[in-house]
Amino acid sequence: MNYCPRCGSRLGVKVDGGRERPACTAEGCRFIHFGDFSIGCGAVVLRDGKALLIQRGINPNRGAWQIPGGYVEADEEIIDGVEREVLEEAGIVAKFSDVIGFRHALASPTANIYVVFRLDLVSGEPKYDGDETLDAGFFSMDEIGRMEQVQGFSLWSIQRALELPRGAGMTLDQTGLTTGRPGWSLFGVNGK
Ligand SMILES: [Zn+2]
């Protein structure tokens, strides 16, 4: 990266937070490149004790089974992102319930945080496009145990969702801290 993505000026180097980082040299532009990060999201959706899984149609891991999910857009609220991915990948309308966990991964070239949600089923039957997804459906733990190539992280997430009472994960803060702040989504554990 040689030029500022905000103003196009040449990048120099600035010490910020104890580390040298690429930074814009233009007067008034305060761009500093802190690194490349991405945010993923996925969802456990249960129906009668069975979990929604999709079979990947694209590499890496074409043919593997996993919970539906994908990347959150930079200008998208994360709950909208996960509900969109479930609809796009599996044809299922489902709404936010709680957060089951998240995984941080250091991987080249992009560090990634992947948040796993539990969503409540609203409507729809599992669909797949035969391209991005080869198959989709609701499966019991017995059935999942007999399937080949089930992603370990998805299995971990489904087990958590089956064990945790609904709402026992992190729920969305609805206090004055966030209600006046468009674009904020704050999730926390329940003390009650
Ligand atoms: Zn700049």
Give the Å distance between the CA of 3 and the centre of ligand 1.
8
Does residue 109 have a cis bond before it (omega within 30 degrees)? Answer: yes
Q: 119 with 94: CB under 8 angstroms?
A: yes
CA separation for the pair 62, 58 (Å, rounded): 5
Give the Å distance between the CA of 37 and the centre of ligand 1.
19
Give the Å distance between the CA of 19 and the centre of ligand 1.
19
The pLDDT of residue 107? 80
The residue extents of the domains of the chain are 1-34, 37-166
Give the Å distance between the CA of 77 and the centre of ligand 1.
26
Q: 127 with 39: CB under 8 angstroms?
A: no
CA separation for the pair 62, 133 (Å, rounded): 9
Q: What is the band of 184 on the pLDDT scale with cuts at 50, 70, 90? A: very high
Domain boundaries 37-166, CATH class: alpha beta
Q: Which residues share a beta bridge with 52?
A: 138
In the predicted structure, residue 12 carries a pLDDT above the cut 80 = yes
Instruction: Work out the burial of residue 107: count CB atoms within 10 Å of its CB; fewer than 13 is exposed, 13-18 middle, 19 or more buried.
Output: exposed
Q: Is 79 left (phi over 0), alpha (psi -120 to 50) or beta?
A: alpha
Render pLDDT for 45-71 as a digit per residue (tens, 0 to 9).
999 999 999 999 999 899 999 999 999
Question: 49: helix, coil or strand?
Answer: coil
- Percent of the chain residues topping a pLDDT of 90: 87
Q: 93 with 50: CB under 8 angstroms?
A: no
Render pLDDT for 128-168 as a digit per residue (tens, 0 to 9).
999 999 999 999 999 999 999 999 999 999 999 999 998 89
Average pLDDT in the chain: 94
Q: Which residues share a beta bridge with 163?
A: none
In the predicted structure, residue 1 carries a pLDDT above the cut 90 = no
Render pLDDT for 67-106 as a digit per residue (tens, 0 to 9).
999 999 999 999 999 999 999 999 999 999 999 999 999 9
Give the Å distance between the CA of 1 and the centre of ligand 1.
12
Give the Å distance between the CA of 32 and the centre of ligand 1.
8
Q: What is the band of 192 on the pLDDT scale with cuts at 50, 70, 90? A: low
Instruction: Work out the burial of residue 97: count CB atoms within 10 Å of its CB; fewer than 13 is exposed, 13-18 middle, 19 or more buried.
Output: buried
Give the Å distance between the CA of 137 and the centre of ligand 1.
48
Give the Å distance between the CA of 144 and the centre of ligand 1.
51
